[in-house]
Amino acid sequence: MGEMSKAELSRIIKAHEAGGVYYIYGTDDYTIGRMKNALVDSIIDRDAQSLNLHRFEGKDGTDVMIQACEALPVFSEKMCVTVCDFDLEAVKPGAAALKELYEEIRNLPDTTVLIFYTLNADICGGKKNPTEKNRKLTDLVAKVGTTVRIDIPSPSEAAKEIMAMFSEEGGRIGRKAAEFLFARTGDLSAAANEVGKLTAYADGREVTQEDVALLTPENDDTKIYALSDAVTAHDLSRALDVYNRLIDNRSEPVALLYMLTGSMNDIYRARIALDAGKTANDVISDFSYPRNLSFRVNNAFRSAQRTNTGYLRRCMQILCKADTDIKGGTGKPETILENAVIKMLTLKAK
């Protein structure tokens, strides 16, 4: 009982040793959902789940959750109750109802497995640890059961997950191509949607980075990071290539300027944090980045290592002036934006 790693939870699932109460949360919604499903399948055979699996949303009343927990399994050794997104900052069941739920958790029947998990709720409120209200529940679960935190993986960790996805689909992909797919799509959920298509296209051979570039869509967020990364690297050719792809995609220049400013600001914050001996988690916490945008900070820290605060400050000044010029109608927005990119590229990193 207590806090458990994803690897240890996987071991328990494979050994069919699950029992008691679990709370699975973090920033990696895709893996959380997958682990929750695997946990349920390890507890109850799929053909028995229609009678022994009770699903609830956080907004549902605690009384029906408690009633389900007290039910007996039907033609099965165990019965399972799942509760999705029970964020106590958003869901307010009342003190009396919470007290009854906490008492039920402390005295959960041996035949019941209760699983709390998050998919669209951030019980940490953008911080490192659960908020005060949510911590009362996670602490209780850790005391009498198990908590598992699963956050968005690093590129190398994501590559392992993606390689496993291809293997399950009957396909193959190398580590570099897997990392490229993760960088291009932004998260494991989006990457998973591309596995079947890429496997079919490769037709038995290993999926390459060229296949990924050819067949998978690259969203504007990914391109904007690539542009800001090229700017900090003073890579004129790469920066203009990315910029032209953004324009060719008919992206709105005003929106692109807004996104580029945000991305460069991420790198600026990361550089200041590095100068102060702080980490990516410190920045995520201090600036309350939403859970689904924490990857931006990790990317920014990688880019910030090749530049300095003075250069980034001047880049921000150039982008602010571009914003003023566009709003003031002093020229075509796409021309103003392109000039701003070129000015940043030609700045000397003092």
pLDDT tens sequence across 251-307: 688 888 998 999 999 999 999 999 999 998 889 888 888 665 777 888 899 899 989
CATH of the domain at 35: 3.40.50.300
Looking at the fold, whether 183 and 307 belong to one and the same domain comes out as no
Looking at the fold, whether 61 and 75 belong to one and the same domain comes out as yes
The pLDDT assigned to 250 comes to 65
Q: If DSSP codes are grouped into helix, strand and coil, which group holds residue 128?
A: coil
* Integer Cα distance of 52 and 95 in angstroms: 29
* Integer Cα distance of 296 and 305 in angstroms: 15
CATH of the domain at 171: 1.10.8.60
pLDDT lower than 50: segments of the chain: none
The pLDDT assigned to 178 comes to 94
Looking at the fold, whether 134 and 177 belong to one and the same domain comes out as no
C-alpha torsion angle, residues 282, 286, 288, 294 (rounded to 10) = -20
Looking at the fold, whether 198 and 273 belong to one and the same domain comes out as no
The pLDDT assigned to 187 comes to 75
Q: What percent of the chain has pLDDT over 90?
A: 61
- CB contact at 8 A, 148 and 141: no
- CB contact at 8 A, 158 and 178: yes
Write out the two tokens for 324: 């003023």
Looking at the fold, whether 168 and 260 belong to one and the same domain comes out as no
Residue 25 pairs with which residues in a beta bridge?
149
Among residues 21, 18, 17, 80, which one has the least CA distance to residue 50? 80
CATH of the domain at 229: 1.20.272.10
* Integer Cα distance of 337 and 327 in angstroms: 12
Looking at the fold, whether 72 and 111 belong to one and the same domain comes out as yes
- CB contact at 8 A, 314 and 347: yes
The pLDDT assigned to 298 comes to 83
- CB contact at 8 A, 51 and 77: no
* Integer Cα distance of 158 and 123 in angstroms: 23
- CB contact at 8 A, 30 and 182: no
Looking at the fold, whether 265 and 321 belong to one and the same domain comes out as yes
* Integer Cα distance of 29 and 189 in angstroms: 8
Among residues 108, 43, 40, 117, which one has the least CA distance to residue 86? 117
Domain boundary among 126, 149, 172: 149
C-alpha torsion angle, residues 149, 155, 161, 166 (rounded to 10) = 160
The pLDDT assigned to 292 comes to 58
Looking at the fold, whether 71 and 85 belong to one and the same domain comes out as yes
- CB contact at 8 A, 112 and 145: no
* Integer Cα distance of 225 and 259 in angstroms: 9
Looking at the fold, whether 305 and 259 belong to one and the same domain comes out as yes
Number of domains in the chain: 3
The pLDDT assigned to 291 comes to 62
Domain boundary among 132, 149, 166: 149
Q: What is the pTM of this model?
A: 0.63
Looking at the fold, whether 7 and 145 belong to one and the same domain comes out as yes
* Integer Cα distance of 273 and 309 in angstroms: 10
* Integer Cα distance of 319 and 341 in angstroms: 8
The string of pLDDT tens digits covering residues 170-193 is 999 999 999 889 878 877 878 888
The pLDDT assigned to 128 comes to 77
Domain boundary among 104, 130, 149: 149
Q: How far apart are the first and last CA of the chain?
A: 53
Looking at the fold, whether 37 and 173 belong to one and the same domain comes out as no
The pLDDT assigned to 185 comes to 81
Looking at the fold, whether 73 and 139 belong to one and the same domain comes out as yes
* Integer Cα distance of 1 and 64 in angstroms: 26
Question: What is the CA angle 258-260-266, rounded to 5?
Answer: 105
- Enclosing domain of residue 287: 220-346
The pLDDT assigned to 117 comes to 96
